[in-house]
Structure 1
Amino acid sequence: MQTPTGGPKDSIPPKLLAELPANLTRNFKAKIIELQFDEYIKLNNYQKEFSISPDVEKQPDYKVKKKSLIITLPDSLENNTTYTINFGKGLVDFNEGNPIINYNYVFATGPELDSLSISGSVKNAYTKTFDPKNDLSVRVLLIPTRQDTIFGKKKANIFTSVDSSGNFILKNLREDTYRIYALKEENNDRIYNNPDELIGFLADSIVLKEDIKDIKIEYSKGKPKDFRVSEKRIQKDSRIALKFNQPLDSPSVRIIFPEDLQKDALYSYASSNDSLHIVLPKVDFDSIKFEISDKSNVLDTTLLRRSKNDKYDRELKPRLNITNKVDKINHITITSDFPIANIDKEKLILKEDTISRRNFQLQKDTTEANIYHVRFNWKAKKNYEFIIEEKAISSIFNDTNKEYTTTFTLDETENFGDIKFTINSLDSNVNYIVQLMDDKMDKVIDSKYIINSSEIRYNKFPGGKYILRIIKDLNNNKRWDGANVFQKIQAEPIWYLDKPITIRANWEQSETITPKFD
């Protein structure tokens, strides 16, 4: 004896029984549309899922009445216009929430029903892929060229979403000349108005006289129209952090008030040139004003106020490049967020199986002033303890460290190999960025800048699987740049090798590759 299960779970969406007026009606005059289904229905996140194209100022009113959806249209519909209501996944059955997929209701307020279409696909310009987990919010916008001035200011009236493969289709279009965009937005307003939004476009307009297929658009984080400081704050360690809404080519920041702080200020720019940290001997000002320039052109000034109750901890914290293993190729590096003036070797203690060893080397890096190297003939099957005693490290402002201790052993795998790439078909007039990433494409492991060269070598490189990509640096600023929609500049071309590269331990390898940029 047991309770009846009730049968298999319902997985079938509601079936449409009637459309009043009929779908694809011309000379449409009705104020109310009724869609009748074979079971009870409900709305699911319809404010986001439902859309009408071309868009209208006042949205239709959607109400469920048992097995019917009642749509009340606004009075502002234009004459001689074809409208499409897209329901996305917002119309579902009442019990299990099974959505009706790919259903549109189309009507024309004039005698002609526009029937042209534009279809194609989108992908990320940086990864060259479409990620259905993160990119389903991408919308394709279509704006007649006569209305192109609304871009970035008002909503695009004609739009559609992409499917799980990045494909799109815009239907029921009239003959016209359009500009087309792909927008991955942050605020769901169909306006490119946020520096974190991704944008793609075709450089040329589309003259639509017959169906157009296979449009390809790549979207990327573009350059905002106007520069601004997006973040400014004094951190708990007393460093001032400034962040910009875009990378700069040759940034220059200086203190213009109080002027006397400028002479002792130290500036540390991020490698991406979109942020920096500023270190001052003391943080005792009420407010401080900065001037930001790029290539000697002043872009902006910004004022930062300090709360009198704020307290700061200026401890100099050492940062090492190891966790629990060290190898004979890279050894140990010591650096800090504050500019290091000196490291006292006498206050560095290295123990090998509890026995103190003094024959290690401490050397300042020849190119990076804030990095020191610790070298030693590490031995297998030994336990090491490295102690940086209190006040071993001092900054140029006389800040010092607290005691720091780490333990580690030697990585005995000797997992290092050599690989040489010969690269064909590179343009001698273009500079390139060649990068090795981990096999998940989460992190850049190595980046090289090549000028009029066709050979890249990686010697004594950690073994493993890597992804190789090559970037055309068209503007010679040594980084990848996304699209600039306002100047109609596309994202810089990127090419990925179509297979992972495996660097094998104690092997010398040679690979010949021929990049083909889109």
Structure 2
Amino acid sequence: MKILDKLPYFIVAAFAWVAIVSSCANQGMPTGGPRDSIPPVLMSTQPEYKALNFSGEEVQLTFNEFIIPDAISEKLVISPPLESRPSILTKSKTLIIRFNEELKDSSTYSLDFKNSVVDNNERNELEGLRFSFSTGDVHDSLRVAGKIINGFNLEPEEESLVMLHKNLHDSAVYTLLPNYIAKTDKEGNFLISNIAPGEYHLFSINDLNNDLRYNEGAEKIAFADTLIVPDAEFHAEADTLTQGLDSMLIEGHTHFSPEPFFMRNFTENIYEQYVKKAERETKYKSTFVFNETVIDSFGIRPLNAETKDWYILEPNEEFDSLTVWIADTTLAANDTIPVEMSYFQLDSLEQFYLQTDTVELVFTEKKEESRRGRRGRNEDDEEEEGPEPVPQFNWTTNLSSSNFELNNDIVLTAPQPLAGIDTSAMLLYLKQDTLQTPLNFNFTKDTAAWRTYRIAYNWEPETSYTLVIDSAACINIYGITSKALESSFKTRAEDYYGSINLDLNNVPGDVLVQLLENADQEEVIREIKTDEDGTVVFDFLAPDKYKVKVIYDRNGNGKWDPGSYQDKFQPELVSYINEVIKVRSNWEWKHVWDLTPDPTFIKNIRDKELEEQQRKEAEEDARRESEQGTNQRQQQNNMFGPGGGISPGSLRPSGR
């Protein structure tokens, strides 16, 4: 066959080859190349970086690509601060910062963009961009750095405003704009740069209203105890490799002082008394809530009735929320009870005086009718219904049928204050005891919770008990008796629990050692107070993860206290064990803990179990990706390999 005759076969073969190879490739749209992961690059500025004698009205920064200015107006920090916000504009690839006020003479301005400059394509962030210039013939270069954390839980304070005041009067932070400012990053770190020589006070506030001033009681504050005197010293270091030359190369570094500050913020306890709530919730119960404590000052009396012992008071621990039970049933029958309330208040000279307010306690009881009543009923119907049942109240308990904790007491709570209790009508016995032999338990009133009582017993593990309380064993102040109660329950196995043993060293005084939930809220599960070295044990712990915290209780009042800028003292110190503690059943976790106070302690609680799990998951993901890549390469090699399916020779037309 001639070559011309074979030409159609070659053409068909060529098209078949192209079709088969194309079908073997990955389908999809072209990717357009690798993803852009490079942030914008600053190409030029107007004026130049660290320019002197600047007298313009705007600053221009030109990048190598288009940027998005959306976040700049929010995150840009200009120091010294401006009275008016600058205008943020873009023109092509140039960012324009236009000042809307006249700049100060002989001042070095610093523009901190944080991570607000992002490109238009993939929003890659340009981190750490700072620009500075001077309106005088000196470019100031001193700096102050540090870290701001929450004084109570040691978490970093992001977006906290840090301020330097050259006016050293105590009132400056309330009334004047600061001389220099900065904002903290997500780790709580800050840097105030381009500071002129001088003496300063250092503050940090969370500036809720953006007025660059401290609003006491409403905003958090942190302050340095010492006067700040920024300085810089060049430390020369000779290059010994050039000693044989005519001149020696001198290098070195600049050491800035003072050292970084570690500051703890807090909200001051500013006395501001007022009534938040005063209402009558039921016929017999009223609630009063104050902004400050009213301990030793609260008084209340009805205006239109002469009666004694007409109420029972139940305050909370802080004595700023009070429940008033109206014990006089004749008085409680009134829909409206006008009362005079008294409590301490501060006058303009900050002297206490007794404030009196008149409040009307209003409650109207709804008349509820039965369905039969709504249809209408006659005298014969009422006789058929019989007498009204005698009202009784129910106990609230912490009992359940199983898993009663070995270290728990039985807790009984009444809905209203009690007038009398007959403990002989309460019986506790082993459930399997058919004779119901009473067990000797300890019955006490709970000192921390109102209307609450405790039954304590040395429980045996994995044992079933029954509690029986006879009807009318208790009577409340309104003459209503309790209903009968019978509840069976079983205790847990002893080997279910674990414990945490802490060997405390260098205890400086009163400390509160707290066992916390492993959650952001860090709710207190248990607390132990001590003032000496020794062992602290948290026992009977359910298998779970926990945190441990210590409060250095400086004034010994049993709680954490914030600081005071007015009185110039810092908040009470706290510290943590920097590890999530995993408690297992029938297991004891031991730890030696040095409680030497450390104001620079960094909270960095690590969950080692979670870290190990994440490490294994990352390794497994990497292994799968590697195997997937290997398999894809093998498939591609086999596709064109011997006997593997497709080869150029297999596409040649057959024929002689």
**Higher gyration radius (CA):** 2
Once residues 460 and 501 of structure 2 are traced to their aligned partners in structure 1, the CA distance between those partners, rounded to angstroms, is: 29
Letter in 2 for 1:240: T
The equivalent of 1:329 in structure 2 is 407
Q: Answer whether contact 2:216 2:268 (CA < 8 A) is retained.
A: no
Residue pair 2:201, 2:228 contacting (<8 A) in 1 also: yes
Partner of residue 437 from structure 1, selected from 496, 503, 516 = 516
Is it true that 1:284 corresponds to 2:328 in the alignment?
no
Secondary structure, counterpart of 1:3 in structure 2: coil
| Alignment correspondent of 2:452 | 371
Does structure 1 residue 142 correspond to structure 2 residue 187?
no
Q: How far off its partner does 1:173 sit? A: 0.1
Q: Which residue is equivalent to 1:93?
A: 119
Residue type of the alignment partner of 1:325 = N
- State how far apart, in whole Å, the 2-side matches of 1:52 and 1:389 are: 75
Could you tell me which residue of structure 2 aligns to residue 172 of structure 1? Answer: 194
Contact 2:514 2:549 in 1 (8 A): yes
Counterpart AA for 1:326: F
Q: Which amino acid aligns with 2:404?
A: V
Count how many residue pairs are aligned between Structure 1 and Structure 2: 501
SS at match of 1:151: helix
Tell me the residue number matched to 1:242. Answer: 289
1:49 aligns with 2:69: no
Secondary structure class of the residue paired with 2:194: strand
Confirm or deny that 1:218 pairs with 2:297.
no
Which of 296, 309, 313 aligns to 1:252? It is 296
Q: Which has the higher contact order (CA 8 A, sep 6+)?
A: 1
Q: Kindly tell me: are residues 331 and 475 of structure 1, through their superposed partners in 2, closer, same or farther at Cα, counting changes over 3 Å?
A: closer
TM-score (norm 2): 0.64
Please say if 1:82 is aligned against 2:104: no
Q: Secondary structure at the match of 2:561?
A: coil
CA contact 2:161–2:183 (8 Å) conserved in 1: yes
Contact 2:297 2:342 (8 Å CA) reproduced: yes
Query: Quick one: distance in 2 between partners of 1:401 and 1:64?
Result: 76
Q: Please report the TM-score for the alignment, with normalisation by the length of structure 1.
A: 0.78
Give 1:22's aligned residue: 48
How far apart in 1 are the matches of 2:215 and 2:488?
Answer: 50
Match of 2:561 in 1: 481
Amino acid at match of 1:160: A
How far apart are the structure 1 equivalents of 2:50 and 2:188? 27
Is contact 1:181–1:217 with CA below 8 Å preserved after alignment? no
Mapped partners of 2:358, 2:586: distance in 1: 54
The Cα shift of 1:203 comes to 1.0
Query: Which amino acid letter does the alignment assign opposite residue 172 of structure 2?
Result: I
Match for 1:199: what amino acid?
A: I
Deviations 1:119-141 (A, max 9, x none): 222333333x444xxx3222322
Cα distance change on mapping 1:42 and 1:292 into 2, 3 Å: same
Report the residue type matching 2:289 in the other structure. Answer: L
Counterpart AA for 2:322? H
Task: Determine whether 1:491 maps to 2:554.
Answer: no
Q: How does 1:2-17 map to 2 (within 5 A)?
A: 2-17=28-43
Code of the aligned partner of 2:561: D
Identity fraction in percent? 23
Asked if the contact 2:150–2:266 (Cα under 8 Å) also holds between the matched residues in 1, the reply is no
Contact 1:233 1:304 survives alignment (8 Å)? no
Change (3 A) 1:172 1:508: closer
C-alpha change, 1:390 and 1:149, in structure 2 (3 Å) is farther
**How far off its partner does 1:158 sit?**
1.8
Inter-partner Cα distance in structure 2 for 1:403 and 1:114? 82
The CA deviation at 1:118 is 1.0
Offset, 1:205: 1.2
Is 2:223 the counterpart of 1:201? yes
Deviation of 1:102 (Å) = 1.3
Amino acid paired to 1:220: N
Kindly report the root-mean-square deviation, in angstroms, between the aligned alpha carbons of the 2 structures: 4.4
Letter of the aligned partner of 2:287 in structure 1? I
Structure 1 residues not aligned, in runs of 5+: none
* 1:410 lines up with 2:491 in the alignment: yes
- 1:188 shift after superposition: 4.5
Structure with the largest fraction of strand: 1
* 2:249 aligned partner: none
Q: The residue matched to 1:152 in structure 2 has which SS? A: helix
Which one-letter code corresponds to 1:291 in the other structure?
Y
Contact 2:302 2:338 in 1 (8 A): no
Shift of 1:239: 4.3
Q: Are the counterparts in 2 of residues 469 and 496 from structure 1 also a CA contact under 8 Å?
A: yes
Assess, with a 3 A threshold, how the Cα gap between structure 1 residues 207 and 42 changes in structure 2: closer, same or farther: same
Name the SS of the counterpart of 1:447 in structure 2.
strand
Distance (whole Å) between structure 2 residues aligned to residue 110 and residue 310 of structure 1? 75
Aligned pair 1:63/2:89, yes or no? yes
Q: Aligned to 2:527, what secondary structure does the other structure show?
A: strand
Unaligned runs of 5+ in 2: 1-26, 233-255, 327-331, 367-391, 599-656
The answer to whether the Cα contact below 8 Å between 1:256 and 1:289 also exists between their aligned partners in 2 is yes
Contact 1:339–1:370, Cα closer than 8 Å, also in 2: yes
Which aligned pairs between 1:355-434 and structure 2 lie closer than 5 A?
359=438, 363-365=443-445, 367=447, 370-374=451-455, 380=462, 395-396=476-477, 409-416=490-497, 423-427=504-508, 430-434=509-513
Q: Which is worse superposed, 334-343 or 9-18?
A: 334-343
**Aligned-pair CA distance for 1:318:** 5.4
What code does the residue aligned with 2:491 have? Answer: L
SS at match of 1:118: strand
Which stretch of structure 1 is more off in the superposition, 223-232 or 47-56? 223-232
